[in-house]
Structure 1
Amino acid sequence: MALIIKTLLLVVVAEMGDKTQLLAMAMAGKYKIKQVLLGVFAATIFNHALAVAVGSYLNSIIPMGIVKVVAGVLFLIFGLWTLRGDKIDDECEKKNRFGPVATVALAFFLAEMGDKTQLMTITISAQNAHPIFILMGSTAGMLIADGIGILGGAWMCRNIPEIYIKWIAGTVFIFFGSVSIYNYTSSLSFIYMILYFLVLGVLIYLFGIKFSYNNRACSRILSHENNKEHKLQNMGNALPSRQIKK
């Protein structure tokens, strides 16, 4: 149970502001929320089952000490990735040859390939020997994060600066990554630790400030929300004119 909760929380943190969350929000502007979440669920099951299988295989062939050090490095990468932010290509939103659920599932599956939530699921699976629990936690985490984005994304963007969300999530990953690395390199000298934090500080500046996608997520969310409001206003304005004609 603890592994399910851990995986769920880490996936929720990783998914906030991620391109797949943005994609789910974009799809919610076209299809019913139930259809979007069903498509997300189907895509996540297949995508993260693949990730869990890869992680479990790595667990069986690589010594655990190496796995944990690599996992620490990957968590640092996830943290920097989160600080930089993410975006989605408009092409991802145009895959509409199938029904709503299939369209969302296909677009989401392709967008999730190589994404940090999939890579993180691989990392967690490589560290643990309970693939079913990890799949349950990662799937639930994706649904919760994307549900939060779809239902409360506009409210969050209007009331909580996007940069706060990014920095809190990024700091969580950087902290866990640093602790994991320290547990297996604590015998190194103090000079190496100083060098580590200097390099980490430079990377945080580059990814979190210099090359960050500032306000990309919120601008897209609010844009879709404004489009919805305009459509509703237009429908409301059209009703009286139709009644008059009758």
Structure 2
Amino acid sequence: MQAFLISTGIVALAEIGDKTQLLAFILAARFRKPVPIILGIFVATIVNHAFAGALGAWVTSLVTPEILRWVLGVSFIAMAGWMLVPDKFDESEAKFAKLGVFGTTVVAFFLAEMGDKTQVATVALAAQYSSFFWVVAGTTLGMMIANAPAVLLGDRIAHRMPVRVVHGVAALIFVVLGVATLLGAGARLGF
């Protein structure tokens, strides 16, 4: 359950101001059909994060626990730095309109999420917690917590959200996770 809660919180914070959240705003403004957009985000996220979670689980089978601890600790600290870099969104990532609202959302969101902060975080979290299902469920819920309101409320919330503060909090959480991992907290706590 800890893997689920931490994955949900980290990804929900990391997604604020992320390029995929910007994509959610753009899709909502373009199509004005929130239900198929939200369903498309959900499907794309599950597929993308299931792949990322499987990759994280696979990595744990390749390296010793000691090496994994160092790789994950450094990765979490690197994610903290990455959180402080603002994302830019390329309009071409939302150009699949001939697929309909749902299809456009699935394809555009899946492609935008490839190599994104939240996907990389999912890989690291799955490796850290060795709990594929709970990590993927948590990161998917985190994405939905951040993106469903973006679709439903659009511009009304986009300019009121203190993105730098939210990213700062997320970066701090990643630093704490990284340092705790490097110090071996996960091994002592059983995850």
TM-score (norm 1): 0.69
Tell me whether 1:16 sits opposite 2:28 in the alignment.
no
- 1: CA distance between counterparts of 2:181 and 2:156? 35
Q: Higher mean Cα deviation, 165-174 or 131-140?
A: 165-174
CA contact 1:22–1:88 (8 Å) conserved in 2: yes
User: Aligned-pair distance for 1:157?
Assistant: 4.6
Aligned to 1:34: 35
Q: Check whether the contact 2:56–2:125 (CA below 8 A) recurs between aligned residues.
A: yes
Q: Which residue of 1 aligns with 2:110?
A: 109
- 1:81 paired residue number: 82
One-letter amino acid of the structure 1 residue matched with residue 140 of structure 2: T
Residue number in structure 1 paired with 2:175: 174
In the alignment, structure 2 segments of 5+ residues that lack a partner are 186-191
Structure 1 Cα separation of the partners of residues 42 and 3 of structure 2: 20
Q: How far does residue 136 in structure 1 lie from its aligned partner after superposition?
A: 1.1
CA distance in 2, matches of 1:180, 1:169: 16
The residue that corresponds to 2:142 in the other structure is 141
**TM superposition shift of 1:77:** 1.7
Q: Distance in 2 between matches of 1:158 and 1:30?
A: 18
Give 1:37 deviation, angstroms: 0.8
Residue matched to 2:133: 132
Offset of residue 120 of structure 1:
0.9
SS at 1:97 equivalent: helix
Contact 1:64-1:127 at 8 Å conserved across structures: no
Distance (whole Å) between structure 2 residues aligned to residue 51 and residue 38 of structure 1: 20
Q: Aligned partners of 2:53, 2:159: CA distance in 1, in Å?
A: 36
Secondary structure, aligned partner of 1:99: helix
Which residue identity is paired with 2:70? V
Q: Could you tell me how far 1:100 is from its partner in structure 2?
A: 0.6
Distance in 1, matches of 2:18 and 2:158, equals 14
Which residue of 2 is the match for residue 163 of structure 1? 164
1:24-103 paired onto structure 2 within 5 Å: 24-31=24-31, 32-103=33-104
Quote the Cα distance in structure 2 between the aligned partners of 1:144 and 1:61: 33
Give the Cα–Cα distance (whole angstroms) in 1 for the partners of residues 115 and 39 of structure 2: 21
Of the two structures, which has the highest relative contact order with CA contacts closer than 8 Å and spacing of 6 or more?
Answer: 2
- Cα distance in 2 for partners of 1:118, 1:22 equals 16
Mapped to 2, the partners of 1:51 and 1:161 lie a distance apart of 28
Corresponding residue pairs, total? 184
Q: Secondary structure at the match of 2:89?
A: coil
Distance 1:159 1:14 in 2: 17
Give 1:168 deviation, angstroms. Answer: 2.1
How far 1:79 moved relative to its partner? 1.3
Counterpart code for 2:79: F
Supply the distance in 2 between the matched residues of 1:148 and 1:128 (Cα, whole angstroms): 28
The Cα shift of 1:174 comes to 2.2
The answer (yes or no) to whether the contact 2:13–2:167 under 8 Å persists in 1 is no
With over 3 angstroms needed to count, the CA separation of the structure-2 counterparts of 1:95 and 1:3, relative to structure 1, is: same
- SS class of match (1:30): helix
Whether the 8 Å contact between 2:14 and 2:167 is mirrored in structure 1 is no
Instruction: For 2:161 and 2:47, locate their aligned partners in 1 and report how far apart those are by CA, in whole Å.
Output: 33
Which residue identity is paired with 1:171?
L
Question: Under a length normalisation based on structure 2, what TM-score does the superposition of the two structures give?
Answer: 0.87
